[in-house]
Structure 1
Amino acid sequence: MPGENLTRVEAQERAALIRTYNYEVALDLTTGPETFRSTTTVRFGAADGASTFIDAITRTVHSVTLNGVELDPASVSDGVRIRLDGLQVENELTVVADAIYTNTGEGLHRFVDPVDGEVYLYSQFEVPDSRRMFAVFEQPDLKATFQFTVTAPDHWQVVSNSPTPQPTDAGNGAKTWTFAPSPVISSYITALIAGPYHSVHSELTSRDGRTVPLGVFARKSLAEYLDADYIFEKTREGFAFYEEKFDYAYPFEKYDQLFVPEFNAGAMENAGAVTFTETYVFRSKVTDAIKERRVVTILHELAHMWFGDLVTMKWWNDLWLNESFAEYASTLATAEATEWHEAWTTFAAMEKSWAYRQDQLPSTHPIVATINDLEDVQVNFDGITYAKGASVLKQLVAWVGQDDFLAGVSAYFKENAHGNTELRDLLVQLEAKSGRDLADWSRKWLETAGVNTLRPELEVDADGVITAFSVLQSAAPDYPTIRPHRLAIGFYNLVDGKLVRDHRVELDVDGERTDVAELVGLKRPDLVLINDDDLAYAKIRLDEESLAVAIEHLSRIESPLARSLVWGAVWDATRDAETKACDYVRLVLGNIASETESTTLRTTLNQLVLAASAYVAPDSQKATSEEAAAALWTLAEQAEAGSDAQFQFVKFFAALASTDEQLATVAALRDGATKLDGLEIDTDLAWELLVALAAGGKAGTAEIEAALAADNTANGAQFAAQAAASIPTLEGKQAAWDSVFGSDALPNTIVRFTGLGFQRAADKNVLAAFIRPYFASLQDIWTSRTYKIAEYLVAGMYPAPLANLELRDATRAWLDANPEPAALRRLVVENLAGVERALAAQAKDAS
C-alpha cells in the first residue's frame, strides 16, 4: 500500500501544474477472468515544460504515448504511477494497459454468482480507486468529462454515468457500448456496472420539466426479491423534496440504482449510477430498523447528487462536507417526505450514539480533519465525518433557522456548480442568508475535537421545590473546548402510569455553568431530561434520582425520542464507568419489552450484549449473559405474534444463548420442534441460529456444509464462513485464522464474515492463543493487502472478546514498538480503546 499512497502536497503541486479537460476510456471486458484491457486518452493543459505523473494501477502497461511520442513503459511506469516529463501547454496522453479485476470491493470488482455461474462487475472508486480501471489524475479537484466505450458479452447490461446507449456488434458474442461524455465530475464518482443484471425501469418529471429515466438493478438470482416499486416511490419522494428545498433541479440525465454483490459499504454516490449493497434486497425477513435504514441510505445517496457530485470538496479534509450534509439531509427528508416520521429518533439512537462513541476514541479528530494523504482519508469514513458532522449541522439549523440554512445551501450550489469547494465557500453563503457570523461557531464545532458532557445540578427544599438549577458542562482533558449549545430541558412526571412531559424550557447553554432561573420555584419532577428533543450534540447525564426513576419506568415515557435519549444517556454513563453495567442490564431487561422504535430496540439490544459479555465484572459475565438470554427468550414468547420486537428478541436471544437448555431451544427453533406464532424460520434466520449453535459447540462442519449445500448462494457462503469461524475450539479458530491470513484469495465479504465468527466463542479464553500471531502479522498484511482487506483483518481478527490485561498490554507494546504507519496505528489504537473501556467498566461493576 505505501507505493499507492498520494499526499496532499503532491496533489496540490499537481493541481497547480495541470488542468484536466476530458477522458476517453475504452475497456475490453472479454479478455479473461483476471485482467481487462484499458485504453485511456486524456487531454489536459499544463505549465510548459512541467513534469508530473498520472495514476494507473496495472498489471502491464503496453504503451504510453504523450503528444504523439511513444514513451518506454518500463522507464515511465512502476505499476502505480506513470511519469510525464516535458509537458506542453496542451497535451494528449494515451495509455494502453492490462488492469486487474479485484475481489476486494475496490476498483473493478468481479463476482461469479454460485447460483448460475454468471459474472457480475461493478466499480467502487472512493477514495483512490478509479486508477485501478483507467489511467487518471486521481484527486477530486481535477475534474473533467469522462466518455466510456465498453466491450462486453452480448447478453450483459452495461451501466455508467451517462444513459446506456444501444450497443453495436463486436463479434465473437460481444457487443460494444459507446457512452456519451459525462458532465464535468470528479474521477471517484465515475462508474461502470456490467453483467446480466435484472432491471426495472421507470421515470419521473424533474422540476425543470425534464423526464429523468429511473432504473433499479440486481443480479438475476435475486430478481424475485427486488421491490423496485417501493424503491421508485422513495426515490420520487426524495427528488421532489430535494428539488424544492435546494431550489436546484437534479443535475444529471438519469438516475440508476444498482444493488451489487460483495459491497464494502452501504452505498456509493456515483453520479447518476448509485451502487448499493445487495443486502438491501431482502430475501428474508429483516427488522424495521433495516427497512428504515435502506430508505435513509437511498435518500443519502440522492442528496449526494447535489452535495458531493455537482459540488465537490477540493481535498479530502472536507469529506465531511459531503457526508455530514448527506446524512443530515437524508434524515430530514426521511422524516418529512416519507412514512418513516420518527427518523430523528432513529438518528438519536443510531447516528448520534456512533458519533459519541467515535468522538471519545483516542483517534478522534475535528470534523474538518487534517488529511495528509490517502491513507488518512481511508480511515476517516467514521462517526465524526458522518454522524457528528450531521449532528452539528442539525444544531446549526436550530440556531440559524431551517429556511435560512436551506437558502444558503441553494446559493452554494448555484455559485459552485461543477466546481470544487472548501469549508469557507459554504459558510459564506450561510452567513449571507442567516445574517450570522459563523467564524466562532466553525472554530469551536468544526475545527476542534471531542464531545462535551452536560449534567443537571439542582437543589430542592423540604417541600420538593427547586431552589437552584444549573446545567454543568465539562470537556475531556485532551479536548478542553467548552462550546455553546442550544438545548431544551424537559420535566417528566408519572401520571396515570405514564411518564409525561409537563414542562419544557429552551435556552442557550455556554460556559462550565449555566444557571436556569426559569426552573427555580417549580416542583422537582420525577425525571429531568437535559437536551430534550435532541437539539444539541453533547453527552448527557441523569441526576441520581432521575436515573433511579429511569431504571424502573423508562418504558412509560410516551415520547420515542425522549426514550431514546434516556437509553443513550444511561448507556453512555455505563461506557464511561460511571454507572454499573449490571444496572444497565437491569434497565434494559426491565423496560425493553414495550419499546416501539425498531432502531432503538436494535441499538439497545446490541449494547445489552456488550454490557453482559464484556462490561460486567468478569466473575459475573457468564451468569449475566445466561440471565439476559433467558429474559430475551421470555420476551420473545410474550411479544406480539409476527412483530418486529418478537423477531429481534429471538435474534438477540440466539446471540447470547450459552447454556445447554438455551442452545437446545435454539436448535428446536431451527428444526421446527419449537414454534412461536408469527415467526417464520426463513433462510437467513436459520443461518443465524446455526451460527449460534456453532458458537455454542452444538453444531460443526457437517451441519454447516449441509446448510451451504441447501443455500448455495453468496449469502449462504458468507454465513457458512461465519459459522465455521464460530466453532469454539482451538482447531476451529485456527482454521478460520489460516483461511484469511494464509491466502489472499478470499473475497472481501468472506474475510469480513470470518472475522465476525472468529470473535464468537462459548469460552473466550480460546482466543488467547492468537494474541501473539495477531501482532506478528500486522505490518505484513498492511503492506501486502489492499486497504479494505487489511482493515477487515486488523479489526475482525483482533481477539477483542478477551478484554483482559494480557491483551491490553500486548496491544500497548505493539504500539510502542511501531510508530508507523499512521493509518494502521489508528486502527490498533481503536482496538485498544475498546479493551481499556471494558476493563474500566468491569472495575466499576465490581466495586
Structure 2
Amino acid sequence: MTWTTYRTPAVGMENCGAGAHVTEVVRGAWMGSVNVAGVRNLTQVEAAERARLLDVASYDIALDLTDGSGGAGEGTFRSVTRIEFACAEPGASTFIELAAASVRSATLNGEPVDLGGWSAEAGLTLTGLAERNTLVVDADFAYSASGQGLHRSVDPVDGEVYLYSQFETADAQRVYACFDQPDLKSVYTWHAQVPAHWKVISNMPVERRDDTGVHFATSARMSTYITALCAGPYHEVRDSHDGIELGLYCRESMKQHLDADDLLLITKQGFDFFHEQFGVRYPLPKYDQLWVPDFNAGAMENFGCVVHAEAHYIFRSQVTDFEYEQRANTILHEMAHMWFGDLVTMRWWNDLWLNESFAEWASHWCNTHATRFSDAWTTFLSVRKNWGYRQDQLSSTHPVYTEMPDLEAVEVNFDGITYAKGASVLKQLVAYVGLEPFVAGLRSYFTKHQFANATFDDLLTELEVASGRELRKFAAQWLETAQVNTLRPEVSVAADGTYSSVVVRQEAAPDYPTLRTHRIGVGLYDLHDGRLVRRDRLEIDVAGERTEITQLAGVRAPDVLLLNDDDLTYAKLRLDERSMATVVQHIAGFESSLPRALCWAAAWDMVRDAELAARDYVALVLAGLPAERDINLVTQTLRQAGATLTSYADPAWAPTGWAELARTTRAALLAAEPGSGFQLAWARAYASAARSDEHLAELRGWLAGEGVPAGLTIDTELRWGLVQSLTAKGAAGPDEIEAELAGDRTASGEREAALARALVPTADNKASVWERLTGPDALPNWLHRALLQGFQHPAQVELTAPYAARFFADVAGVWARRDSEPAQEFVMLAYPAYQVTDETVAATDAWLAQDGHPAPLRRLVAEGRDGVVRALRARQRDAASN
C-alpha cells in the first residue's frame, strides 16, 4: 500500500505547503481502522494456532451486486462463499471471520452450523472439524462508505455506481467468509452478478460472462488481504507487454483525464526493470490498474488488480513533474509488491515494515534507473525521508521492527517509520553489503519462498549467504531501536589551510541513547566560479560517539565538507561553520540535486530543532531557492517555508516573512519559463503566501483573466486554489465559490467547493462546520475530510482559537461515534495545532491525564502536543535572534 499526501490545514505537521492555501501532510500515519471496529481483533497467538491447524485449499465466492431487477444494488449485497480446507487434528474447533450484516445460512460438511454465537466482531465458530472440510456461508454484507470492504460510490456527473474493494489489513471478511490472516494462503474463484453494462475486475482474467454473471479464472495462491473485486461502468484501456495483458480503468466521467500513454510507459518500464533485477517473472497473466474515487490511501497492491486514488493521480489540470514523479513512484511501489508482499508474503504483521519498506526502496531504485525520473533518490530524501524523520521524533516513536500482538497494534503502525525509515535502513543495508550481493539475495529469497510466506529472518539468511557478511548485529541495531541520530562534523584547520583533524560526532536523543554504525559518504566540494565541484569522496563507517576521519589529516580543507554524501544512511546532518557559510551563499552551485537536497534538509532540521532561527531559514530559502533546478526541491522547500512561517517564526515577525515570501514567489513566477512546471509551482506558492490587498487583488484578477502572467494557465485546479486562498483571507466568499462550482459540477468540484465553504472566515460559518463535524450524523468520507481541511487556516488563528477548548471537550465523543477512518482524521486535523501556546500544551496535558481514553486516540492527541511543543521552542529561538 502507498500512503501519499493530501491537502490539510494541520499546521505543526512538517510537510507543510506554501504551494497551496493549506499545508500537506503525509496521509496514513495511522492507517485505516485504528480500532478495527466491526471486525474481529485477531491476535498473533490465535493466528499462529489456526495456521498450525488448517490448510485452506480453495475459496469459491459468488456476489450478487444487483438490486434484483438488473440495476445496481445498495445497502447490502449477497455473498455465498464455499471454502475447502483441511484440518490437521480432526475433531478440533476453530473460527472463521464473517463481518456480515446478517447470515442467511452456514453449513459445514453438509450440516448446519449453529449461528447463535455469531457476530461481526467475533466471527463464526466451527466445531467438530473433519480431516477434509467444506464450509458454505450465505450472508448479506453492507456496502461501505468508508473505503474499507466493498466501497460504493455514486458519480455526481452521471449517477453511475462504482464499486471497489479494499481489504488490508483484515477487511476481506467484510465481503466474504474467510480465514483472514496472511499465512493462510489459498486460491480463489470469483463470480459476480452485476448490471449488464458493468465491467468486473478481479485478480485473474474473466473466464466467461453469461446469464448467471461474470466468472473469473481460478487464481494463484495468495493471501486474503490482496484479493480484490471491482465493478462498475469503468472506462477501460488495454495493452500488453512482455506477455502480460495490461488494463487501465477509471470512471467514465474521468476518461478524458486518463493519460494512458504515460501510465502504460511507467508500467512497462517497471516490469522490464523488476524482471531483470529480481530474476523471477511476474506470475499472473494480466496486470490491471484502477483509479477510483474516495480511496483512503494512495494505492493498494491487490495481486494483479492494483487500486489507485483517483484524486491524487488523475490530473484534471496542469501539474508539475513533482506530481508526475510521485505518481510514477506509486505505480512502481505497488508493482514491487507483486514480488515482495504478494508472491512472497509476510507470515504475520510483525514484518509489515519489510513489506512496505521494500516497496518504498524498490520504487525509488527503479524510478532512478528505469524512468525519466533519474533523481528519484533526491525526492526520497526531501519528501519521504522527511516523513520518517518527523515520525521518529514524536513521543510515539517505535522501532522499525515491532511485535504485533493483534490487529489493533498493526493498524497504528502504518506510519513514516514503517515506510520511510524502514526504506532508509534498507538503503543503508545495500550500502553495507553492496548492491550485487543484495540483489543476489533477493533473487534467492523470491525463488525459495514464492507463493508462500516468509519472515525477515528468511531474507536476512539469503543476504548473508550472498554477501558473506554477518548481518544480525546490523539488523538489531537498526530495526530494534527507535529515534534518529545526528551526525555533526568537528573540524580543525591548520594555518596552511589543511585539516589538522576531522571528527564525526554522533548524537542520540537522551531517551533513546543508541549510537549506530553508519556507512556514509564524505564529500569534499570546492567552489570554482560559483560552482561547487566534488574534489573527492570517501566512504567510511561511523561508529560510537566519536569517529575520526584520519584520511583527511593534512588534506586541504574544502569549501563544503558534506557528511552522508549520496544519502546512504538515515541520520540528521549538520554542517561545520565554513561549509554552512558557503552553502548559504552558493547552495545552487552543486551540480547534482542530491547534495543540494542534503543541505536543504540539514537547514530544515536545524530550524525544527531550534538551532537556526526561522527568519534565517526563510532568508536562505528566498536567496537560494529561485535558482533551484529540481522541481521536487522547489515544491518541498516552499512547503517547509510555509510551515516555518506558520509554526516556527516569532508571530511578531511572521507577517514580514509572509510579505517577503510573497514578493519572492511572485518575482520567481514572472522569471520562470512561461508554461513550465516551475512557473506553476511558484504561482501556487504566491497564491498561498499572498496577504496584502495588492497581492490579493492581483489573484482576483487572475480568476477574471486579467493580468495573468504569460504562459500561466488558470485551469480548474489552480482556479480552485485561488478561490480557496482568497476565501480564507476574506477576499472572496460564497458567491465566488458557487460560481466556480457551477463550472465544475463533478465529484472533484463538489469536494473543492465544500473545502472552500469551510474556509469562509466568519464565526457563524466556523460554528456551523464544527457542528457538522461533531454532530450525531456521519458524513461521507470526502465531505468530512474537506470540512476538516477547510476548518483551520494559518490566516484564521484568532477566529478558530475558541475551538481549542471545544476540541478537548468533543474529541472523545467523536472518536466513539465515528468509523475509524473519519475518527482518526478528526483527531489529526481538528487538533488545535495553530494555537501555539503554553495553554494548548496545558489543555492537552489535562486531557491526557484523564482516564478511559483509548490508546490509539491518546497517541494521536499526544502527537499533536509534540508539534506545539516543538513550535514553541522554535519560536523562542526566532524571537531571540531579533
Give the TM-score normalised by structure 1: 0.96
2:533 corresponds, among 500, 513, 527, to 500
Alpha-carbon distance change, 577 to 306 in structure 1, aligned in 2, over 3 angstroms: same
1:7 corresponds, among 43, 47, 52, to 43
- Whether 1:241 and 2:273 are equivalent positions in the alignment is yes
- Whether 1:142 and 2:184 are equivalent positions in the alignment is yes
Question: Residues 613 and 625 of structure 1 are in contact (CA less than 8 Å); yes or no, is this contact kept in structure 2?
Answer: no
Q: How far is 1:231 from its partner?
A: 1.5
Cα deviation 1:313-346 (Å, max 9, x = unaligned): 1111101121111111111111111111111111
SS at structure 1 position matched to 2:211: strand
Q: How far is 1:260 from its partner?
A: 0.8
Question: Residues 301 and 307 of structure 2 are in contact (CA less than 8 Å); yes or no, is this contact kept in structure 1?
Answer: yes
Q: After the TM superposition, which residues 638-677 of structure 1 pair with which residues of structure 2 at under 5 Å, given as runs?
A: 638-677=671-710
Question: Residues 612 and 628 of structure 1 are in contact (CA less than 8 Å); yes or no, is this contact kept in structure 2?
Answer: no
Q: Whole-Å Cα distance in 1 between the matches of residues 407 and 762 of structure 2?
A: 39
Q: After the TM superposition, which residues 508-527 of structure 1 pair with which residues of structure 2 at under 5 Å, given as runs?
A: 508-527=541-560
Q: After the TM superposition, which residues 284-683 of structure 1 pair with which residues of structure 2 at under 5 Å, given as runs?
A: 284-683=317-716
- Whether 1:167 and 2:204 are equivalent positions in the alignment is no
- Whether 1:35 and 2:71 are equivalent positions in the alignment is no
Query: More deviation in 436-445 or 342-351?
Result: 342-351
- Whether 1:44 and 2:85 are equivalent positions in the alignment is yes
Question: Residues 587 and 596 of structure 2 are in contact (CA less than 8 Å); yes or no, is this contact kept in structure 1?
Answer: yes
Question: Residues 157 and 194 of structure 1 are in contact (CA less than 8 Å); yes or no, is this contact kept in structure 2?
Answer: yes
Question: Residues 208 and 216 of structure 2 are in contact (CA less than 8 Å); yes or no, is this contact kept in structure 1?
Answer: no
Question: Residues 61 and 77 of structure 1 are in contact (CA less than 8 Å); yes or no, is this contact kept in structure 2?
Answer: no
Q: Whole-Å Cα distance in 1 between the matches of residues 127 and 805 of structure 2?
A: 48
1:70 is aligned to 112
Q: Whole-Å Cα distance in 2 between the matches of residues 139 and 520 of structure 1?
A: 57
Matched AA of 2:220: P
Q: Whole-Å Cα distance in 1 between the matches of residues 170 and 659 of structure 2?
A: 46
Q: Whole-Å Cα distance in 2 between the matches of residues 514 and 792 of structure 1?
A: 44
Q: Whole-Å Cα distance in 1 between the matches of residues 244 and 492 of structure 2?
A: 62
Q: How far is 1:784 from its partner?
A: 3.0
SS at structure 1 position matched to 2:653: helix
Cα deviation 1:27-65 (Å, max 9, x = unaligned): 000133111111112222233333332112222212122
2:762 is aligned to 729
1:101 is aligned to 143
Question: Residues 801 and 835 of structure 2 are in contact (CA less than 8 Å); yes or no, is this contact kept in structure 1?
Answer: yes
Matched AA of 1:126: E
SS at structure 2 position matched to 1:565: helix
2:70 is aligned to none
1:708 is aligned to 741
1:686 is aligned to 719
- Whether 1:815 and 2:829 are equivalent positions in the alignment is no
Q: Whole-Å Cα distance in 2 between the matches of residues 49 and 688 of structure 1?
A: 64
1:21 corresponds, among 51, 57, 68, to 57
- Whether 1:232 and 2:274 are equivalent positions in the alignment is no
Matched AA of 1:41: R
- Whether 1:188 and 2:229 are equivalent positions in the alignment is no
Q: How far is 1:819 from its partner?
A: 5.9
Matched AA of 2:96: I
- Whether 1:88 and 2:125 are equivalent positions in the alignment is no
Query: More deviation in 30-39 or 744-753?
Result: 744-753
1:272 is aligned to 304
Matched AA of 1:308: G
Matched AA of 2:740: A
Question: Residues 776 and 817 of structure 2 are in contact (CA less than 8 Å); yes or no, is this contact kept in structure 1?
Answer: no
Q: After the TM superposition, which residues 828-843 of structure 1 pair with which residues of structure 2 at under 5 Å, given as runs?
A: 828-843=861-876
Q: How far is 1:745 from its partner?
A: 4.1
Matched AA of 2:278: F
SS at structure 2 position matched to 1:73: coil
Query: More deviation in 831-840 or 615-624?
Result: 615-624
SS at structure 2 position matched to 1:300: helix
Q: How far is 1:72 from its partner?
A: 4.3
Q: How far is 1:576 from its partner?
A: 0.8
Question: Residues 122 and 260 of structure 1 are in contact (CA less than 8 Å); yes or no, is this contact kept in structure 2?
Answer: yes
Q: Whole-Å Cα distance in 2 between the matches of residues 204 and 819 of structure 1?
A: 56
Alpha-carbon distance change, 744 to 104 in structure 1, aligned in 2, over 3 angstroms: farther
2:793 is aligned to 760
Q: Whole-Å Cα distance in 2 between the matches of residues 249 and 686 of structure 1?
A: 45
SS at structure 2 position matched to 1:265: coil
SS at structure 1 position matched to 2:147: coil
Question: Residues 38 and 120 of structure 2 are in contact (CA less than 8 Å); yes or no, is this contact kept in structure 1?
Answer: no
Q: Whole-Å Cα distance in 1 between the matches of residues 776 and 748 of structure 2?
A: 21
2:238 is aligned to 201
1:60 is aligned to 102
- Paired residues, number: 837
Cα deviation 1:578-608 (Å, max 9, x = unaligned): 1111111111011111111111111111100
Q: How far is 1:130 from its partner?
A: 1.0
SS at structure 1 position matched to 2:534: strand
1:260 is aligned to 292
SS at structure 2 position matched to 1:792: helix
Alpha-carbon distance change, 521 to 744 in structure 1, aligned in 2, over 3 angstroms: farther
Instruction: Show structure 2 runs of 5+ residues with no match.
Output: 1-34, 68-72
Q: How far is 1:557 from its partner?
A: 2.1
Query: More deviation in 278-287 or 543-552?
Result: 543-552
Instruction: Show structure 1 runs of 5+ residues with no match.
Output: 171-175, 206-210
SS at structure 1 position matched to 2:663: helix
Cα deviation 1:521-547 (Å, max 9, x = unaligned): 123222221111111111100122322
Q: How far is 1:75 from its partner?
A: 3.7
Query: More deviation in 69-78 or 235-244?
Result: 69-78
Q: Whole-Å Cα distance in 2 between the matches of residues 275 and 78 of structure 1?
A: 26
Matched AA of 1:56: L
Question: Residues 185 and 309 of structure 1 are in contact (CA less than 8 Å); yes or no, is this contact kept in structure 2?
Answer: yes
Matched AA of 1:70: P
Q: How far is 1:291 from its partner?
A: 0.2
Q: Whole-Å Cα distance in 2 between the matches of residues 628 and 379 of structure 1?
A: 37
Q: How far is 1:431 from its partner?
A: 0.5
Structure 1 stretches (4+) deviating beyond 4 angstroms? none
Alpha-carbon distance change, 665 to 370 in structure 1, aligned in 2, over 3 angstroms: farther
1:208 is aligned to none
Q: Whole-Å Cα distance in 1 between the matches of residues 57 and 845 of structure 2?
A: 49
Q: Whole-Å Cα distance in 1 between the matches of residues 852 and 710 of structure 2?
A: 57
